[in-house]
Amino acid sequence: MIKILTVIGARPQIIKAAALSRAITNSFSDKLKEIIVHTGQHYDTNMSEVFFDELNIPRPDYNLNVGSGSHGKQTASMIEGIEEILLKEKPGCIVLYGDTNSTLAGAVAASKINIPVIHIEAGLRSFNKSMPEEVNRIMCDHVSTLLFSPTKTGYRNLIKEGFKENNQAPFSADNPKIFHCGDVMYDNSLYFSEVAEKRTNILAKNELKKNEFILATIHRNNNTDEPERINSLFSALHKIATENKVKIVLPLHPRTAKLLSKNLSSELYSNIKLNKLIQIIEPVSFLEMIALEKNALLVMTDSGGVQKEAFFFKKPCIILRSETEWVELVECGSAKIVDADEKKIIEAFNDFRNAKNLKFADLFGDGKAAEFICNEIIKL
Ligand code: UD1
Ligand code: UDP
């Protein structure tokens, strides 16, 4: 039996981890034993707990309860806690997802005591190191032993950074193995797509009709912390809703919720509050989110995961950032990068609302990325 130690902490990691946990339970329970460590980076019920119940993820064996804090403070407490657990549990490897501070902490803690790092969602790059996530993912990739990239672009990025395609086993941090294997988020979207509308009533609850509303999410640090950007984003939402009489539903990340009144001008803040077409709601569960994505007219987001899910469900996506790691979406023509530029956001909405025959190629695997990853972990 191989003991693997999975570290999760932020909302998208909990969701991604569901795919691997499901594969282990269904197909690899005789070979893999998973220990789950929750760092506590996200802790509100609707940012963490809700996903364990809904996605059938085993309860964490450990919760470090680090909570929020500056990058250094938050990451340092996680490193300390993860190291202690690694020394006690002595797993065969650590499994890390994506690019959050929880990912970085796991990579530092494990690599320093020579526990192989498995990085899921390796190779993605925005080429913008002012993003904390870019720093986290580069650092994690470069101490990893097995690197699983969901896209060809991610795989090629690794090669450009010096990773070799033909390394032979035994693999280690000095002789790592890179894979292009599809996306565990696609596994999840396929798996839960059928049941999402049956098991939730988010559309009825918010009086939303198929293809008659926009789904928006905003949480990126620059979009929330820089007043100019957050004002431009919300001004665009206000204008689009008002001028087109279209509803915008906005499940709001707590980071954004906390900064809205502080960073929006008082006039815009009150306009947004009074605008009945803009429905700001609490963060929703994953199945509720899928139901919203499947039924939206289009999606506007600065989230990495939501960009992709829009694509999985064949919805156009307006990317509220200056670049994306998921360049394939833009190359397909079904997503547009508009930054936090009010004029470009409105133009993109006008282009997409009437767009026909958008292309959504099969780019993210066959829904079995998690099984592929489990097999490679066993070989390691
Ligand atoms: C983190 C990740 C980001 C990811 C996002 C997913 C880093 C550096 N960033 O950003 O890559 O896209 O998670 O959602 O790891 N808060 C709450 N309740 C919670 C969690 C957070 O109120 O349960 C508030 C706190 O005020 C906190 C702020 O949100 O300070 C930011 O949380 P944090 O985890 O530091 O970063 P995110 O913006 O969530
Ligand atoms: N998500 C969710 N509820 C919400 C908003 C997002 O379940 O209210 C899901 C979404 O479907 C996706 C993941 O959270 O699977 C994306 O996480 P987030 O946008 O927080 O982070 P990112 O992907 O940008 O790191």
Q: Give the SS3 label for residue 124.
A: coil
**Nearest of 40, 39, 41 to residue 83 by alpha carbon:** 39
**Nearest of 122, 189, 36 to residue 376 by alpha carbon:** 122
Q: How many angstroms separate the alpha carbon of residue 362 from the centre of ligand 1? A: 31
* 57 contacts 24 by C-beta, under 8 angstroms: no
Pocket perturbation via mutation, ligand 2, pick of 48, 57, 289 by most ligand atoms within 8 A of CB: 289
- Using CA atoms, how far apart are residues 273 and 277, in angstroms rounded to an integer? 10
- Residue with the nearest Cα to atom 31 of ligand 1? 255
Segment 241-251 shows an average pLDDT of 98
Ligand 1 within 6 A of 69 CB? no
The average confidence (pLDDT) of the chain is 97
What is the β-pairing status of strands 177-180 and 278-281?
unpaired
- Predicted structure pTM score: 0.97
What pLDDT score does 184 carry? 98
Q: How many angstroms separate the alpha carbon of residue 255 from the centre of ligand 1? A: 6
Quote the tokens at residue 113: 């005591």
Establish whether 219 is a catalytic residue. Answer: yes
Burial 268-281 (b: 16+ CB within 10 A, else e): bbebbeebebbbbe
- Torsion angle, alpha carbons of 203, 208, 212, 215, to 10: -60
- pLDDT tens, residue by residue, 254-295: 999 999 999 999 999 999 999 999 999 999 999 999 999 999
Neighbours of 100 (CB within 10 A): 28
What pLDDT score does 354 carry? 85
* 94 contacts 5 by C-beta, under 8 angstroms: yes
* 248 contacts 214 by C-beta, under 8 angstroms: yes
Ligand 1 within 6 A of 307 CB? no
What pLDDT score does 58 carry? 94
Give the type of residue at 289: M
- pLDDT tens, residue by residue, 131-158: 999 999 999 999 999 999 999 999 999 9
Q: How many angstroms separate the alpha carbon of residue 167 from the centre of ligand 2? A: 35
Quote the tokens at residue 232: 């431009």
pLDDT at 217 over 90: yes
What pLDDT score does 190 carry? 95
Segment 228-251 shows an average pLDDT of 98
- pLDDT tens, residue by residue, 75-95: 999 999 999 999 999 999 999
- pLDDT tens, residue by residue, 31-60: 999 999 999 999 999 999 999 999 999 999
Asked whether the bond before 316 is cis by omega within 30 degrees of 0, the reply is no
CA atoms in the 13 A half-sphere facing the CB of 237: 34
* 321 contacts 233 by C-beta, under 8 angstroms: no
What pLDDT score does 177 carry? 98
Reported confidence tier of residue 196, pLDDT bands at 50, 70, 90: very high
Q: Give the SS3 label for residue 215.
A: strand
Phi, psi of 101 (to 5 degrees): -65, -30
Ordered by where they begin, the domains of the chain are 2-183+365-379 (3.40.50.2000), 199-354 (3.40.50.2000)
Pocket perturbation via mutation, ligand 1, pick of 38, 42, 97 by most ligand atoms within 8 A of CB: 42
What pLDDT score does 356 carry? 86
- Torsion angle, alpha carbons of 119, 124, 128, 133, to 10: -40
- pLDDT tens, residue by residue, 284-331: 999 999 999 999 999 999 999 999 999 999 999 999 999 999 999 999
* 377 contacts 146 by C-beta, under 8 angstroms: yes
Place of tokens 């890390």: 96
